[in-house]
Structure 1
Amino acid sequence: MNIADVKQELSSDEKVLESAFKLETLYKKYRVVIWSVIVVLILLFVGKSVMTAMEEARLSEANNALLTLQQNPEDTAALNTLKEKNPALFELYSYAQASKTGDKNTLAILSHSSNSVIADASGYTLAVMEDKTTDSVLYKEMTTLEEAYLAIQNGEMKKAQEKLNMIDPRSPVATLAQLLKHSTIKAK
């Protein structure tokens, strides 16, 4: 080993020590910030885990309540649990039950729901039960078909034809529209 190698080795060691001192100085200067960031990250991770676990438990309770209601629709405890834990699922269940039993009061209440799908479906179902027409986004063609049918019942064949011509030939209800068109021709 010669003197140049020793000097280079000492120079390397000095640089390491110098870096260590700089790192220690930096740590002392920003110690509070570093630990604060670490604590915040840990709290975020733990908080997110807790929130996820709570959400899963809430949804699990709501699902269990729904399964109970499917077995026993009269179970008020399960109904209250479903309403509290998952209001959207409660509205869907209420809509299904009201449609099945013909409960116009519940359908009228649900037609004002903040959930646009439930409100539209409830309004349409209620209108069908009352032999009325309604503006439905989900059942637009069915609504048009219903309007045409009511026009035929009222003897307004021209209006019925206009409504039936609005239905797209590729629509699933096009066959029914064609049948109604033929009935308006025969009724003239």
Structure 2
Amino acid sequence: MGIKDDVNYVKRELSGDEKVLESAFKLESLYKKYKFHLWGVIVVLILFFGGEAVMGALHEAKLEKANEAFLTLQNNSEDANALKVLQENNPALLELYTYAQAVKKEDIKGLESLSTSTNSVIADASGYTVGVLNKKPVESKLYKEMALFEEAYLSILAGDVKKAQNKLELIDDRSSLSVIREFLMHSTVKAN
């Protein structure tokens, strides 16, 4: 039985090796048939990921230049070169810097120009600040409750207590302005 088992074992091994060789030949024929497609996909993947890495590095470099220019402007707001670098590398950060400077200097013309910005946050904040500086009520998404409070206050100054009360009622009870709202509502009740 030992020789018979050995012969069967050898047959199985040869059969397994035969199958491996057959698979290798199939794989080789598939490779020959599709090698241009395969290499094309590999090249495209390499170019894609390489391009992504290069674009990411360029973006990071632009942000770093913009941050350096921003820090320079914080120390010296008159640095024209830093303004130019910031404009070229991060216009949104330049708008934010311009907004901060205009608020600090109470520059109404500068704020009015920023109120037409494509950045909705800068545009809304600038419009609200212009309204506050001009003591005129304005609508604001960011400062909705502050705008309502400001309108109520201006109405009280104008003698229109009813309008002030209506505006104050629009301020949410969970708002941080609710305590001040209650004091102002109380003072309008006494004014009636």
Global fold match (TM > 0.5): yes
What is the distance in 2 between the residues matched to 1:55 and 1:171? 40
Which residue is equivalent to 1:164? 168
Which secondary structure state, in structure 1, belongs to the residue aligned with residue 128 of structure 2? helix
Deviation at 1:180, TM superposition (A): 2.1
Give the corresponding residue for 2:87: 83
Residue 151 in 1 paired to residue 179 in 2? no
Matched, 1:67 2:71: yes
Name the stretch that deviates more: 14-23 or 50-59. Answer: 14-23
Distance in 2 (CA, whole Å) between partners of 1:141 and 1:132 is 15
* Distance (Å, rounded) in 2 between the aligned partners of 1:166 and 1:10: 88
CA distance in 1, matches of 2:175, 2:27: 72
From 12, 24, 31, the counterpart of 2:16: 12
In the TM superposition, what is the alpha-carbon distance from 1:89 to its structure 2 partner?
A: 1.0
Moved over 6 A (4+): none
Query: Structure 1 regions of 5+ residues with no counterpart?
Result: none
Structure 2 residue 189 is matched with structure 1 residue 185: yes
**Paired position in structure 1 for 2:58:** 54
| TM-score, normalisation: structure 2 | 0.92
Letter in 1 for 2:185: K
Gaps of 5+ in 2: none
Residue 112, structure 1, aligned to residue 116, structure 2:
yes
Q: Give the Cα separation in 1 of the matches to 2:30 and 2:68.
A: 55
> Which amino acid in structure 2 is aligned with residue 169 of structure 1?
D
Letter in 2 for 1:5: Y
Over the matched positions of the two proteins, sequence identity in percent amounts to 59
Which letter does structure 2 place at the counterpart of 1:77?
A: N
Q: For residues 82 and 136 of structure 2, what CA distance do their matches in structure 1 show? A: 34
Q: Deviations over 1:9-67 (max 9, x none)?
A: 22222212211111111110000011111111111121111111111101101100100
Alignment-derived partner of residue 40 in structure 1: 44
Choose from 131, 138, 144 the match for 2:135: 131
What is the letter of the counterpart of residue 146 of structure 1? E
Give the 3-state SS of the residue equivalent to 1:112 in structure 2. coil
**Separation in 2, partners of 1:22, 1:187:** 96
RMSD: 1.4
Residues 175 and 3 (structure 1), Cα distance of their counterparts in 2 relative to 1, 3 Å cut: closer
Q: Distance in 2 between matches of 1:9 and 1:175?
A: 88
The counterpart of 2:97, out of the listed 93, 98, 109, is: 93
**1:107-150, CA deviations, whole angstroms, 9 ceiling, x for partnerless residues?**
11111111111111110000000111111011111111111111
